[in-house]
Amino acid sequence: MPSSDAAAGRRWRRALAAAAGALLLALAAIVGRVVWFDAYWLFRESPPWLAQTGGGNRLLDRQTRRAKVLQAMTRDYEVALVGSSTVYHGLDPRDVAPDLKGRVFNAGISALVADELPVVASVVRSRRGVERVVLGLDYFMFSRRELPAVRLSRSLLTASGRWNALLGSLVSEYAIRDSFLHRVAGAEDPGAWTRDGFRITPPLPPELTLRNDETRRRTTAPYRPETLARLDEALAALRGRSLTVYLAPVSPAQRRLMAELDLLDDFARWRTDTAQAAGAHGARFLDLADLGADHPFDPREGSNEVWLDNLHYTPVLGRQILERVGLRGPGQPE
């Protein structure tokens, strides 16, 4: 009887070992597929979808929060550009000084709100190689009536939360589902992404700039001073890094809109409050809200050389910002 029990035990152990081996092989195949396709551009210089789409990626357009946070955790960089879509549309890391090329990552995130700033700051701070952070703020971050339905999780404030996010990028339902060309191809927005986080966007036709103007009319709202607490939290998290805070340029069209909505006093108060917050944390502060004010923009005419739409400036203005924050030399050729 004991010998038969021992034989049964050996059979069970062999069966368990075989099952474990099969599971590990399946897991390795899944991870291999995810890393090879690299839908969120985390692991490879040139993932296979890049040649097919030319840099267009529907997931990066629609899941920008997920993509940019994961990229910020996996890229090798020394300078982080942090902010909203104004940052990733306007500040091209290829425009920095020659000695900084290849060392700058654009961590701009679409429709980023002040509540999410501490999360991005914590992710950037977790990268030991990051020495310098340039934080671009815009009025929309601090005035949005309703927070976006999908926001950055505050679990990313912790090392365990960040590790869980990285593991999820390798082994999760979304990682497997998104590892196919049809998931990234067919981007609705014109343009393409670069590996350093910048989005190349062609001039927008009048129908798009008018649509964006209508959106701003619906969403431009009074300043919410309580959101400054999150800015304070983010600035505190970045202590020890060389930190520059700037206010994004505001187009003449958007300024007219704020005047029509009687929000210019709110805008002025926001400028003062953010300057004081940056000063309290020892950060260098630049109010660049008036930069580009002498370049007219009419949404009825589409994008021009300086403005993509009411809110977003082009790299023409972006190069001036890079120069003022110290990332580009004066008179540096384009």
> Can you read off the two tokens belonging to residue 309?
């739409």
Of the candidates 196, 217, 199, 215, which has an alpha carbon nearest to the alpha carbon of residue 207?
A: 215
CB 210 within 8 A of CB 237: no
Binned at pLDDT 50, 70 and 90, residue 325 comes out as: very high
Half-sphere exposure of 43 (CA within 13 A, CB side): 16
Please identify which residue in the block is written with the tokens 């343009």. Answer: 191
Grade residue 5 by pLDDT with cuts at 50, 70 and 90: low
Assigned token pair, 285 = 């502060």
Residue showing tokens 């593991």: 167
Do residues 84 and 112 lie in contact, with contact meaning Cβ atoms separated by under 8 Å?
yes
Nearest to 170 by CA among 64, 61, 58, 32: 32
Q: Is the dihedral of CA 320, 322, 326, 327 positive or negative?
A: negative
Rounded distance between C-alpha atoms, residue 182 and residue 58, angstroms: 9
CB atoms within 10 A of CB 125: 18
For 284-325, the DSSP string reads: EEEE-TTTTTTS---GGG---SSBSSSSPBPHHHHHHHHHHT
Q: Among 21, 91, 63, 5, which Cα is nearest to 328's?
A: 91
Tell me the pLDDT band of 23, cut-offs 50, 70 and 90: low
Q: What angle do the packed helices 64-74 and 159-170 form, to 10 degrees?
A: 110
Element (H, E) at 143: none
Q: Name the CATH superfamily housing domain 38-324.
A: SGNH hydrolase (3.40.50.1110)
125-167: pLDDT as tens digits = 999 999 999 999 999 999 987 777 789 999 999 999 999 999 9
Which tens digit of pLDDT belongs to each residue from 252-300?
999 999 999 999 999 999 999 999 999 999 999 999 999 999 999 999 9
pLDDT score, position 146 = 77
Q: Rounded distance, CA 59 to CA 67, Å?
A: 8
Based on the number of CB atoms within 10 Å of its own CB, is 213 exposed (0-12), middle (13-18) or buried (19 or more)?
buried
| pLDDT at residue 13, rounded to an integer | 72
Evaluated on CA atoms 85, 86, 92, 98, the torsion sign reads negative
24, pLDDT greater than 90: no
**Number of helical (H) and strand (E) elements in the chain, helices listed first:** 14, 7
C-beta of residue 92 within 8 angstroms of C-beta of residue 53: no
DSSP letters spanning 97-124: -GGGTTSEEE---TT--GGGHHHHHHHH
Residues 37-71: tens digit of each pLDDT: 999 999 999 999 999 999 999 999 999 999 999 99
Q: Can you give the pLDDT at residue 331? A: 76
Global pTM?
Answer: 0.91
Query: Which distant-in-sequence residues (6+ apart) come within 8 Å of 212 by Cβ?
Result: 204, 299, 309, 310, 311
pLDDT on residue 6: 63
Mean of the per-residue pLDDT values of the chain: 92
